[in-house]
Amino acid sequence: MAAVGVDAAVSAASLPLVPAPGNVHPSAPIPVQGPPLGEALRVGLGETGAQILPLILGGAEFGWNVDLESSHEIIDAYIERGGNALHTADSFAGGRSEHIIGQWLHSRGLRDEITLAVRVGGHPDNPGLGPVNLVRAVEASLTRLRTDHIDVLYLDAATGPIDLEQTLATADWLVESGKARAIGAAGFTAAQLVDARIYVSAGYPRITVLDVPFNVLRRHEFDADLRLVAGAQGMAVTPSHALEHGFLAGGHRTRLRGGLSVRGVQIAANINRRGSRTLRALDAVGTDLGVPTAAVAVAWLLAQKLVTAPIVNAYATQHVEELVQGTGVRLSRSQLADIARASE
């Protein structure tokens, strides 16, 4: 019987696609035939026209903590469960993440079935969003990804000061030339997003997707101003740091003086004070619903207004099943209130 609160399609997606060789025990599950059942779950990615699983697989671990072969296995596991959106950045592992994803796209022949989102502006060879570096960064990403276009090009304003008009003019050229299909923003302030919308009247492309660091412990980064602007402009919000470097998945917890360390990443002291309470609340909800803590953290994000699809990084194939389960979990008002109180 499927776990309570979890979409039956998600639970069934973990069954083998073909019968195991040899004799099959009478009590073994019946193999699932046909396409992944997760394909029935799709949401629109804002005004981009893309229809995606409401969970974007991030490649931040690829080429850093995860080698090429294991990275490809993680992507395969995500696709097998109905996933169809990948996110990376030119700064991830110095471009190795893009290279690994590019090899996967080429070897599997699935480029047309995948919504590919790339954040640029952080590579040391082409830093920032100035016109020349932006074009060079996109060209370099396309080469590493072995593709001729990026479906959602995130402009990373956190890399330094930008001339917004010049950046949008360059983005317009990238769209007109077919190198990018839609424009997203990362690290933008509410004021910059308002200014960007004003430039639309001059013919510049609209920013339709917003990446903001956001999870149950980092609610302040998606502040009231950003929420107001994103909502008014109809943006699709794709939160990054959905699991706070794996901390909200409930594993690999080690206490250190002044903060928490999760797989070598130091977590701020203010999160340390609230982290234990929040994890206990997530664990309790997960126990009630029969799902992993990571699935509850994903479900919490999907329950927030304006959130379309969290960007979640995985560093093992077994984590993919936990994350995808979160797309089928529906949290009650009382469960959301319990989590909110614990994280205050």
pLDDT digits (tens, 9 = 90+) for 306-337: 999 999 999 999 999 999 999 999 999 999 99
Q: How confident is the model over 123-172, as pLDDT tens digits?
A: 999 999 999 999 999 999 999 999 999 999 999 999 889 999 999 999 99
217 phi/psi in degrees, rounded to 5:
-100, -10
pLDDT at 9 (0 to 100): 38
pLDDT at 159 (0 to 100): 87
Instruction: Tell me how far apart the alpha carbons of residues 98 and 141 are, in angstroms, rounded to a whole number.
Output: 7
Closest CA to 289 of 242, 334, 240: 334
DSSP class of 171: H
Q: How confident is the model over 38-73, as pLDDT tens digits?
A: 678 999 999 999 999 999 999 999 999 999 999 999
Categorize the per-residue pLDDT at 283 as very low, low, confident or very high, splitting at 50, 70 and 90.
Answer: very high
pLDDT at 197 (0 to 100): 97
Categorize the per-residue pLDDT at 12 as very low, low, confident or very high, splitting at 50, 70 and 90.
Answer: very low
Using a pLDDT cut of 90, give the percent of the chain over it: 78
Q: How confident is the model over 86-110, as pLDDT tens digits?
A: 999 999 999 999 999 999 999 999 9
Q: How confident is the model over 178-209, as pLDDT tens digits?
A: 999 999 999 999 999 999 999 999 999 999 99
CA distances for 144 relative to 65, 101, 122, 139, angstroms: 19, 8, 15, 9
pLDDT, mean over the chain: 87
Instruction: Tell me how far apart the alpha carbons of residues 165 and 239 are, in angstroms, rounded to a whole number.
Output: 25
More confident residue, 263 or 92: 92
pLDDT at 259 (0 to 100): 46
Q: How many CA atoms lie within 13 A of 333 on its CB side?
A: 0
pLDDT at 257 (0 to 100): 41
More confident residue, 70 or 252: 70
**Residue 119: pLDDT over 80:** yes
Query: Left if phi > 0, otherwise alpha if psi is -120 to 50, otherwise beta: which for 105?
Result: alpha
Token pair 């074009």 in the structure block, residue? 135
* Among the ranges given (214-218, 263-267, 283-287), the one the predictor scored with the smallest mean pLDDT: 263-267
Instruction: Tell me how far apart the alpha carbons of residues 269 and 308 are, in angstroms, rounded to a whole number.
Output: 29
- Delineate the domains of the chain, giving CATH numbers in brackets: 49-248+294-330 (3.20.20.100)
pLDDT at 338 (0 to 100): 97
Instruction: Tell me how far apart the alpha carbons of residues 5 and 10 are, in angstroms, rounded to a whole number.
Output: 11
Categorize the per-residue pLDDT at 260 as very low, low, confident or very high, splitting at 50, 70 and 90.
Answer: very low
DSSP calls for 38-75: GGG--EE-TTS--EE-S-EEE-TTBTTTB-HHHHHHHH
Closest CA to 71 of 115, 108, 112: 108
pLDDT at 96 (0 to 100): 98
pLDDT at 274 (0 to 100): 77
pLDDT at 252 (0 to 100): 54
Categorize the per-residue pLDDT at 20 as very low, low, confident or very high, splitting at 50, 70 and 90.
Answer: very low
| Strand 236-237 relative to strand 253-256, pairing | unpaired
DSSP class of 157: G
Contact 282, 314 (CB under 8 A): no
Contact 58, 83 (CB under 8 A): no
pLDDT at 143 (0 to 100): 98
pLDDT at 37 (0 to 100): 55
**Residue 211: pLDDT over 70:** yes
